[in-house]
Amino acid sequence: MIRMVLALAPVLFSLLGAPNASAQQSAAAVAGRPVPVVHYRYETIDGVKVFYREAGPANGPVVLLLHGFPTSSHMFRNLIPLLADKYRVIAPDYPGFGQSDAPEHTRFDYSFAHFADMIDTLLQELGATRYALYLMDYGAPVGYRLALKHPERVSALIVQNGNAYEEGLQDFWDPIKAYWAANTPANRKALLGLLTPATTKFQYTDGMGDLSRISPDNWVHDQALLDRPDNNEIQLDLFYDYRTNVPLYPQFQEFFRKRRPPTIIVWGKNDKIFPAEGAHPYLRDLPDAEFHLLDSGHFALEDRLAEMAPLIRDFLDRKAGSP
């Protein structure tokens, strides 16, 4: 473990402390470590251009990074280089998020089932037939639906504030549950506050141990994409469709018990959206999971990358390090 942390240290320091890309490259070169090249690509699926980031050796073990709301694969920009020397890392943007197309909401099925099918198609196009799943926020229902379709393809789980238990749907979800119970214009309109700059900033700053680590670029970047024409309607459709994930929780849990995938849980315990009450139940079904509650919030990678990356890398090397 110590050797692994020391090996990662030059790259971590370059990412967390260097002011620009050239400084990062210089620091890594001095340490004798090449800087992994990240490729930014598109694949057309169901007539929609799906953006994804890809890095690492083509024959390396695959790690699929599935992002949350309201962000995109942008949330993994600092983690990817810390894995890509050995692992083939793939981080897509769902339609309506990031750099992927955002078809008008009345002409496209914005649902978690559709997202899972599209990511499944993307992986098939990329020849990725076995993968470790990084599941965060919306990434959890997308990834677990993939796991139900292809349980034999899942080599490991990395769970970061990704819910699979009703205990994890606390007070924050009450207005959304009201919308699920009655899809009325009033209940739909009541959720528009979740799409505002104040709420986007809140998701990055609330519960964080050290706000000086959180770049304002995060919420500025995400909000600019949320503010695109028709995007409010896209996100409100997805808030409503989230109700379809809850009845699948027992199936997700059965997958855990039956397949017992190697699992690490790295959870920001101060998150009000997916609080720690949703983390503990995993141990009922995955008693061997490696469990870490971090003094962080929703987007823990922004605050605790220096802790999370060594934990994740060590876990992958032990549990999913073979192609």
Cα 150 from Cα 133, distance rounded (Å): 12
Instruction: Please give the full DSSP string across 77-123, using - where no structure is assigned.
Output: TTTHHHHTTTSEEEEEPPTTSTTS----TTSS---HHHHHHHHHHHH
For the chain, how many helices (H) and strands (E)?
13, 8
User: Which residues carry out catalysis?
Assistant: 298
| Contact of 135 with 143, CB cutoff 8 Å | yes
Cα 207 from Cα 84, distance rounded (Å): 29
How far the first Cα of the chain sits from its last, in Å, is 21
Q: Partners of 99 in the beta sheet? A: none
Three-class secondary structure of residue 142 per DSSP? helix
Phi, psi of 134 (to 5 degrees): -100, 120
